[in-house]
Structure 1
């Protein structure tokens, strides 16, 4: 008997129901503690002779067998999220922690003529979306940069295992159940094997598959219908960091129009770094995120990113535990509001609103040279610049574009000026005079 087609969520299994996974481990279901688009999440325990404790460290996701998201997620976990693989990676990279939930088992079950698929994994805590909403839509800058570093570690691991996540967002970033300073990237229902058996997927646009993913953050590759790649994940992460830092994105007002969202993202990427620097808010300058996205822009579709460089761009001396307290000026602020009159005056520019009828209405401003070179090093830390000189030059060249004449006055004076052509062939020739014959 097939499940009702109109019912997205499965009919709940009874509390205390016993499941057996493919390795013949037995699991006891507790109460339902959450749900996704197509499945339910239960507390679970391997102690099948007693009720599942409220503080259990395991959960089990359950969907109808015919549904696709859990099947896709399960394939990722089976290939990349086994405890032994994660531990080996941490040892090899010298990491104390890696934010990927551990896979503990999976299988099929049947109850009242309905067939289910299930997967057992680590229990996680609250998601970042709830924290952002409670803080007026923004997070402190140091916290955003720390989250970025930790998520780059996760992406490096899953990319090395031939997968991309393709749906990074605050709702899929979870804190640890026991330790809220641990951050996990969860929900691999849209994960994509971009490099099966070491062979990268070809660049092939498909408009019929365009705009997949979460509209606020999905990559320009996805807007074009390309299969997700490593650069896609990093671009999505960059958009997330920008949102968490500023509380809004320039395309928030047109999310129901995918083509307009795509155009706004392309405009932002084409005009880096000033397009991102203009979005800075009080107490949260966006220079690190601008450099992060600028480096992502240099990547070709099949390129392997320099993950250590990306982490270095987000470092800037941030240490310690995550601080999720409300940033100054964010309390009671509605991140979706576009009523500029209701907001207090700011010393920094407001986020750029895109005018689709007149794209050239808003002219970009020249960017101070200090931003092109990246975040300044602190004087009390004379260690070597983490950004290699060659990459620094590449980022600088990418950022110039229409700003060839930008820079400080001192730099302008020191820069050699172009020599008029008439001086390249000898003494200047007066207007109208005939050159002397030799």
Structure 2
């Protein structure tokens, strides 16, 4: 059982358990959820996607909602991290095998300091989610009783920090309404953006930032993640504002335009919550969101996509080749060719997967091509944004999206490593050949 196999199997076990619990009569207000719908919701929660075939606020009971909450909390932090928490609480020793699993699940290059990192992950997550819950609950108390506001605050803080994107406001504002009623609300928008950003930059970067006052420097990984995130947010917000100024942003106040612009620039990279209905956006804006969803969040985070660092390495490699440079340099550090090959492999595998999935969904669903593509990329990037197709999916379409969500969360490369047969070392090399490129 290699680490990729253990990680993939762990997610499958979580999904299976979630499907069983959601299939129970106590989980739904109607007393029954079909097997495929329960499987879809369990996969979406475990893979912290947020796509939903049934409305969480109206069609699930409190028990069903708590099941989802547990699934996306474990799925966001990683089941290996949660298992380590139990081991630490029981004061047991972390074995070498468990350290290797932690290294793989957190995308670390070495096992050095991995247990300390896990402790920090758990502490940071608890503090950030608790802070978000307090801010949300304080705002929601203006509209609902204290007990309900506290429950809503906890649920939405955990959901948004883990980039799950599930919400309960269908019970108040109508099914699948999301956060559209809070488009002008500074508290809800600021808290949501902060939770998405902190959950999306990754626990490695969070730990590095906490050490910054003492060490006075950041690692190369943290610099790449933070700068690339900032650039994507600024460019995304600028393009969204220009494209939607005379459309969806037109009826909003100046402050409403500001909050809507930046939340819609932050949330595609795996956030899953939106204050503007995606189907009402221009096609150019929808395609912009597809690109941001495909890039996704940072490695070792609660988000999906090909990852920010993969995108940054590819862009830097292209820029170096155009300038005729042999080395790929980022922040005065040379990037190993192995990382470039890995980035290329992940990107090409992801594109091939999305091409095949979009073609198949176009056959099974009666929807426009851009809508099908949007839903496919949202599922793979574990973003959770939807153009309204997900609740209308056929059974075949649901199965395809379930596979996309699972592969998007585990990563196509990890899944490929888990499924490949045990290889043997090559004892010879073929002669080098020449081929014309470009």
User: Which protein shows a greater Rg?
Assistant: 1
- Bigger helix fraction: 2
- Bigger strand fraction: 1
> Normalization by structure 2: what TM-score?
0.26
> Normalization by structure 1: what TM-score?
0.26
